[in-house]
Structure 1
Amino acid sequence: MGGSFKTQREVNGLFELTDSARNNLKNNAYYNDDLAPTKLDERTWGTYHIAALWVGMSVCIPTYMMASGLMAQGLSWWQAILNIALGNLIVLIPMQLNSHAGTKYGIPYPVFARLSFGIKGAHIASIARAIVAAGWFGIQTWIGGGAINAALSIVSPAWGAWSAGIWVSFFAFWALNVWIAHKGPDAIKFMESWGAPILGVLSLSLMIWAVTAVTQMGGSVGDILNLPATYAPGGFWKIFLPGLTANIAFWATLALNIPDFSRYAKTQKDQFMGQLLGLPTTMAAFAFVGVFVTGATSIVYGEFLWDPVAVVANIGSPIAGLLGALGIAVATLTTNIAANVVAPANGISNLNPQKITYGMGAIITGVFGVVMMPWKLMETAGAYLFDWLGTYGLFLGPLAGMYVADYYIFRKKTLDLDDLFKGEESRYWYKNGINDKAIWTWVIAGIFPVLGKMVPALSFFSDNGWLIGFVVAMIVYPVLMKNDTSSLITPEEEEAMNEKVTG
Structure 2
Amino acid sequence: MAENIKIRTQREVNGLFELTESARNNLKNNVYYNDDLAPTKLSERTWKTYNIAALWVGMSVCIPTYMMASGLMAAGLSWWQAILNICLGNLIVLIPMQLNSHAGTKYGIPYPVFARLAFGIKGSHIASIARAVIAAGWFGIQCWIGGGALNAVIGVMSPTWAAWSGGIWVSFFIFWALNVWIAYKGEEAIKFMESWGAPILGVLSLGLMIWALKNVHALGKSVSDVLNMPATYKPGQFWKIFLSGLTANIAFWSTLALNIPDFSRYAKSQKDQFRGQLLGLPTTMAAFAFVGVFVTGATGIIFGEFLWDPVAVVANIGSPIAALLGAIGIAVATLTTNIAANVVAPANGISNLNPQKISYRTGALITGFAGVAIMPWKLLSSAGAYIFGWLGTYGLFLGPLAGMYIADYYIYRKKVIDLDDLFKGEESRYWYNNGFNKKAVYTWILAAILPLLGKVIPSLSFFAENGWIIGFLFAIVIYPVLMKNDTSSLVSAEEELQITERVQNPENA
Question: Smaller-chain TM-score range?
Answer: over 0.9
Match of 2:432 among 420, 427, 430: 430
The runs of 5 or more residues in structure 1 that have no matched partner are: none
Distance change in 2, residues 1:372/1:300 (3 Å): farther
Matched, 1:492 2:494: yes
2:58–2:333 CA contact under 8 A, matched in 1: no
Distance 1:392 1:371, change over 3 A: farther
- Alpha-carbon distance in structure 1 between the residues aligned to 2:405 and 2:421: 18
Separation in 1, partners of 2:93, 2:313: 30
Post-superposition Cα deviations, 1:145-187, rounded to whole Å, max 9, x if no partner, equal 0111112211232332333432332122112211221122232
CA-to-partner distance for each residue in 1:331-388, whole Å, 9 max, x for gaps? Answer: 3223322222111111111111000011111111112222334335545553222x22
* CA distance, structure 1, for counterparts of residue 8 and residue 500 of structure 2: 6
Report what 1:473 is aligned to: 475
Partners in 1 of 2:380 and 2:208 — Cα distance? 21
What is residue 332 of structure 1 aligned with on the other side? 334
Instruction: Check 1:231–1:314 CA distance in 2 against 1; reply closer, same or farther (3 A cut).
Output: farther
Q: CA separation of 1:127/1:335 partners in 2, compared to 1, >3 Å: closer, same or farther?
A: same
Higher mean C-alpha displacement, 363-372 vs 210-219: 210-219
1:213-266 per-position Cα deviation (integer Å, ceiling 9, x unaligned): 333443221111222122333332232111111111111111111111111122
| Equivalent in the alignment of 1:9 | 11
Q: Which runs of 5+ in 2 are unaligned?
A: none
Equivalent residues of 2:55, 2:195 under 8 A apart: no
Confirm or deny that 1:125 pairs with 2:127.
Answer: yes
Per-residue CA distance 1:121-158 (angstroms, 9 max, x = gap): 10110111111211221222122101111122112323
Tell whether the 8 Å contact from 1:51 to 1:274 is kept in structure 2 after alignment.
yes
Name the CA distance, whole Å, in 1 between partners of 2:40 and 2:407.
Answer: 24
The TM-score normalised by the length of structure 1 is 0.95
More moved, 224-233 vs 387-396: 224-233
Distance 1:39 1:62, change over 3 A: same
The answer to whether the 8 Å contact 2:262/2:345 transfers is yes
Give the secondary structure class of the aligned counterpart of 1:83: helix
SS at match of 1:400: helix
The structure-2 alpha-carbon separation of the partners of 1:70 and 1:209, relative to structure 1 and needing over 3 Å to count, comes to farther
Please identify, of 398-407 and 72-81, the stretch whose mean Cα deviation from structure 2 is larger: 72-81
Q: Which amino acid aligns with 1:209?
A: W
Q: Does 1:82 align with 2:72?
A: no
C-alpha contact 1:195 1:335 (8 A) present in aligned 2:
no
What aligned pairs does 1:88-103 form with structure 2 within 5 A after superposition?
Answer: 88-103=90-105
Q: Does residue 245 of structure 1 match 2:247? A: yes
Q: Distance in 2 between matches of 1:149 and 1:309?
A: 10
The match for 2:207 is 205
Aligned residues: 501
Equivalent position of 1:323 in the other structure: 325
CA distance in 1, matches of 2:214, 2:199: 23
What corresponds to 2:386 in structure 1? 383
Task: Tell me the TM-score normalized by structure 2.
Answer: 0.94
- For residues 115 and 245 of structure 1, the distance between their equivalents in structure 2, rounded to whole angstroms, comes to 27
Q: 1:73 to 1:378 in 2, by over 3 A?
A: farther
User: Taking structure 1 as reference, are residues 430 and 482 closer, same or farther at Cα in structure 2, changes over 3 Å only?
Assistant: same
Supply the distance in 2 between the matched residues of 1:375 and 1:199 (Cα, whole angstroms). Answer: 26
Alpha-carbon distance, 1:274 to partner: 1.6
SS at match of 2:257: helix
Q: CA RMSD in A?
A: 1.9
User: Is contact 1:80–1:291 with CA below 8 Å preserved after alignment?
Assistant: no
Name the structure 1 match of 2:283: 281
Correspondence 1:11-410 to 2 at 5 A? 11-379=13-381, 380-385=383-388, 387-410=389-412
Contact persistence 1:111–1:420 (CA under 8 A): yes
User: What is the CA–CA distance in structure 1 between the aligned matches of 2:424 and 2:43, rounded to whole Å?
Assistant: 24
Deviation at 1:435, TM superposition (A): 0.6
Deviations 1:312-332 (A, max 9, x none): 222233432343133212332
In structure 1, C-alpha distance between the alignment counterparts of 2:118 and 2:355, rounded to whole Å: 19
CA contact (8 A) 1:71 1:291 kept: no
Corresponding letter in the other structure for 1:298: G
1:448-463 → structure 2 map (5 Å cutoff): 448-463=450-465
Give the secondary structure class of the aligned counterpart of 1:10: strand
